[in-house]
Structure 1
């Protein structure tokens, strides 16, 4: 019996071990279909461990430990990024979770069904037309309900019932990937959460989001106690450092929009900007209260 799962789990998942499943999943993917991996003369022999690690944003050693079935503190965020990199189905993602950490993936933190219908083909086409700039749509509680291909390339976590704020505050790598997280990103994000909480005081999803983020870090609670409100970050200059850019810092301008037909959706486009130092200002973004 595996210490991460019981005999019933083994029966449910079949006889394949985690290493067997992972090797099978990566070998079925043609690397020539992935722009970041495509190279002249490369044959379709599946993904290497190095390829998978690069796509998932981890070291080759870290991924190799998982493929060797070595127990470690694998996070849900890592497993979701791995699921995206390996293009796993819902059932395969479930099997990965059960084999790796002995439990199924959690359900979405907050329901998004009530706004999912508003993410229609026209809005998706608008997102797609923003390429090569990454773009996403979230609901009022920052659940991701739509994105374009460049956004998924930059942020693979978006593929699995993701929440933008939960990633930013609860995923360890966010503090590395969002450059100057504690000064540029986190205060603005918390100010936006406070603003939406004031606008929607009875919204259960926002209450849960606030509770979970504040429970995770005393540093974040201290920021929250400043009682700053930020309506949006439209026009703000930020810097990011992502595996997609091989660790190179990239400056982006945040463009924030709302569809006129719905006040429950927000659309964000990240536009690469000439390499310039952050000004520390957010034009038309802040609204502070005592």
Structure 2
């Protein structure tokens, strides 16, 4: 079988080909629902190559080359128009980008209404409460706290809805006392996370304000920012705390950092207290 149909020469699956995907996606779109397309006299259901070319503003020849699997410099604007014409889901749009240009689409700007819709607050709070006795909290993309459980409040009394995790860690004097090895283990990795998210969400205004506020208010943060370090997350990291809740006793924790499958703009963090060796709960 031809490897472009999803099988290698020795029968090993290599994934669905771009031509096969495009043909399948075209065939499921009902042209009768699209204003301006002539549906009378059609021999088959679905869109034709000519239909897709018209809907995306390219020549039929140009689109045919894409459906044949021929490589070209397909622009994000064209691929987004194609995703819209074929009524692709977010996962299908990602597959289109990966097959056509070898990389996923850029992360788009999400409206505030869409962000709210992504969070089931009741379910999130039940999850956080279920982590007790371990402290747990959730933040939005810019590290504003949107939920927490009772143990988290015991450990960090400053927490409140819309309190900002990054601003507390990087700007509050008490954080330097309570977070052991503050610069190396906390400040630099978290600044690296801000830089990472800013690179992936360059148009997000809340992230832009967070970066500006922290660098304006903290010369130490500004100096560390100049190292241009980047970190994706803190999952699995071993850290130490010295909190009033523990009467100043040093406590070792491991960080569990999660993101729901429905959104990359929500993060959940659980703090697991571990023994002095950091090998278990």
- Residue equivalent to 2:213: 212
Q: Does structure 2 retain, via aligned residues, the 8 Å contact 1:112–1:139?
A: no
Contact 2:145 2:161 in 1 (8 A): no
State the partner residue of 2:165: 164
2:253 is the alignment partner of 1:252: yes
- TM-score norm. by structure 1 comes to 0.55
**Which structure's relative contact order is higher, taking Cα pairs within 8 Å and 6+ residues apart?**
1
CA separation in 1, counterparts of 2:205 and 2:274? 37
- Distance of 1:126 and 1:160 partners within structure 2: 17
Give every structure 1 segment of 4 or more consecutive aligned residues whose post-TM-superposition deviation is greater than 2 Å: 111-117
Is structure 2 residue 139 aligned with structure 1 residue 138? yes
Question: Could you report, residue by residue, the CA deviation over 1:189-208 in whole angstroms, capped at 9, with x for unpaired residues?
Answer: 00000000001101111111
Q: CA deviation at 1:217?
A: 2.2
Deviations 1:116-143 (A, max 9, x none): 5514211211111110000000000000
Q: Give the structure 2 partner of residue 31 of structure 1.
A: none
Taking a change above 3 Å as real, the CA distance of residues 133 and 197 of structure 1, as seen in their structure-2 partners, is same
SS of residue matched to 2:272: strand
Native 8 Å contact 2:146 2:161 kept in 1: no
Corresponding residue for residue 204 of structure 2: 203
Which ranges in structure 1 are unaligned for 5 or more consecutive residues? 1-110, 279-290
Q: TM-score, normalised by structure 2?
A: 0.57
1:264-283, aligned counterparts within 5 Å?
264-276=265-277
Find the counterpart in structure 1 of residue 122 from structure 2: 121
Change (3 A) 1:252 1:207: same
Structure 1 residue 154: deviation in Å? Answer: 0.7
Tell me if the contact between 1:112 and 1:145 (Cα under 8 Å) persists in the aligned partners: no
Q: How does 1:1-290 map to 2 (within 5 A)?
A: 115-116=115-116, 118-276=119-277
Higher gyration radius (CA): 2
RMSD over aligned Cα atoms? 2.0
Distance 1:165 1:127, change over 3 A: same
- Give distance in 2, aligned partners of 1:196 and 1:147: 22
Number of equivalences: 168
For 2:250 and 2:113, locate their aligned partners in 1 and report how far apart those are by CA, in whole Å. Answer: 36
How many angstroms apart in 1 are the aligned matches of 2:124 and 2:191?
27
Provide structure 2 residue ranges, at least 5 long, that are not aligned to the other structure. 1-110
Cα deviation, residue 160, structure 1: 4.7
